[in-house]
Amino acid sequence: MKLSRPVSWFLLAFGVWSWVIWVTFVKNLVADGSGLAFDDGHPTAYFWVHLTLAVVSFVLGTVVGVIGLRGLRALRRTS
């Protein structure tokens, strides 16, 4: 399958965006002082659910970004 240049850039940008957003979220989650993420120093279910969401988003963002990068590289080879 051949991806167009705009689609490849979009996929790459989505992958980068996913990492930026979720890294920021995980930093805020770990530093949470409201009591949602930690109860007496122990992680809560809220913490584990959101950490799982972040890890899945890291994996999906990486896969989507790599597809976009490979699409751009393929276009560069054919041009």
Q: Which residues contact 40 (CB under 8 A, 6 or more apart)?
A: none
pLDDT of residue 79 exceeding 80, the answer is no
78 — pLDDT class (breaks 50, 70, 90): confident
pLDDT at residue 71, rounded to an integer: 96
Q: Are 61 and 8 in contact (CB under 8 A)?
A: no
Dmax over CA atoms of the chain, in Å, equals 59
Query: What is the per-residue pLDDT across 1-20, written as a single tens digit (0 to 9) for each?
Result: 789 999 999 999 999 999 99
Q: Are 54 and 22 in contact (CB under 8 A)?
A: yes
In whole angstroms, give the CA distance from residue 78 to residue 22. Answer: 34
